[in-house]
């Protein structure tokens, strides 16, 4: 039975990957609601696999990713209630995302487009790769990067180099579990993501390398910045 101990969480044995995923996945409880509604977003349904992504799919998935920063309407500040320019930039390039989904363009082609949509950071851009091909490109966020960094002892540079290395790490875990990266295995692949997300939250709270210090970065209300979102809010 896998039981985590703070003294040995840095040790990651691929032979025990199944136990690791089984343990941490049970604590995953991330949810988001449809904009202007109490209805919970059905992540798998909105991926609309086998078809083109619709504008509504993309709006809903972006909100699932980051309710505060990627909702279809700006939620705070002088532009509150207006169309969110981040979301509008994505929708303006929806045809390009769908072309990539159907293998009508290359990874390099889409990366050039992503640089114009989200010029800074990697997390939101990687999410567009993910929703285009969810079985190929895992979700990125500060929590899963934290898990990857601890297990590989590599530095999280918060760029595409980090994401490429994280993708390799994710694939290694999937292979250790005997899961091929196909559309038919999306739910099993998501369990890996769930486990890494929760493990990363655990590290943020308890591991001395990552735990927030008393003078750590805080929100305006004085509370420590949350890590529960499926994003990081430092992008443009």
DSSP 122-189: SHHHHHHHHHHSTTTS----HHHHHHHHHHHT----SSHHHHHHHHHHHHHHHHHTT---SGGGHHHH
19 and 48 in one domain?
no
Q: What pLDDT, on the 0 to 100 scale, is given for residue 11?
A: 84
pLDDT at residue 8, rounded to an integer: 75
Residues 24 and 85 in one domain: no
Q: Are residues 129 and 140 in the same domain?
A: no
Whether residue 93 sits in one domain with residue 208: no
The pLDDT value given to residue 211: 83
Same-domain check for residues 154 and 178 = yes
Whether 187 and 167 map to the same domain: the answer is yes
Q: Taking the mean position of all CA atoms in its chain, how far away is CA 58? A: 15
Question: DSSP letters along 104-129, please?
Answer: SS-HHHHHHHHHHHS-S-SHHHHHHH
Residues 138 and 23 placed together within one structural domain of the fold:
yes
Shared-domain flag, residues 12 and 98: no
> Which of 104, 133, 162 lies at the terminal end of a domain, its last residue?
133
- Confidence at residue 233, expressed as pLDDT on a 0 to 100 scale: 35
Confidence at residue 131, expressed as pLDDT on a 0 to 100 scale: 98
Shared-domain flag, residues 46 and 122: yes
Count of domains for the chain: 2
Q: Where does a domain end: 110, 133, 156?
A: 133
In this prediction, the residues of the chain whose per-residue pLDDT falls under 70 are 1-4, 212-236
DSSP secondary-structure letter at 77? S
The reported pTM is 0.88
Domain range spanning residue 4?
Answer: 1-28+134-236
| pLDDT for res 215 | 43
Are both 124 and 143 inside the same structural domain?
no
pLDDT at 3: 63
My answer on whether 199 and 223 are in the same domain is yes
Domain end point (choices 133, 155, 179) = 133
């Amino acid at each position: 039975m896998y039981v985590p101990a703070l003294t040995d969480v840095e040790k990651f044995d691929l032979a025990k990957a199944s136990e690791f995923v089984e343990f941490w996945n049970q604590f995953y409880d991330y949810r988001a609601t449809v904009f202007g509604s109490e209805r919970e977003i059905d992540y798998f349904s909105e991926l609309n696999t086998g078809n083109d992504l619709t504008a509504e799919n993309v709006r809903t998935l972006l909100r699932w990713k980051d309710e505060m920063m990627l909702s279809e309407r700006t939620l705070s500040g002088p532009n509150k209630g207006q169309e969110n320019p981040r979301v509008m930039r994505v929708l303006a390039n929806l045809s390009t995302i769908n072309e990539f989904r159907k293998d009508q363009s290359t990874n390099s082609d889409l990366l050039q487009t992503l640089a114009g949509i989200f010029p800074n950071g990697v997390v939101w851009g990687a999410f567009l790769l993910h929703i285009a091909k969810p079985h190929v490109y895992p979700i990125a966020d500060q929590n899963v990067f934290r898990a990857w960094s601890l297990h590989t002892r590599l530095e999280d540079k918060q760029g595409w180099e980090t994401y490429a290395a994280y993708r390799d790490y994710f694939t290694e875990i999937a292979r250790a579990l005997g899961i091929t990266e196909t559309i038919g295995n999306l739910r099993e692949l998501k369990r890996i993501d769930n486990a890494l997300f929760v493990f990363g939250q655990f590290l943020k709270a308890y591991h001395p390398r990552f735990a927030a210090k008393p003078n750590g970065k805080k929100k305006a209300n004085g509370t420590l910045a949350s890590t529960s979102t499926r994003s990081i809010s430092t992008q443009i």
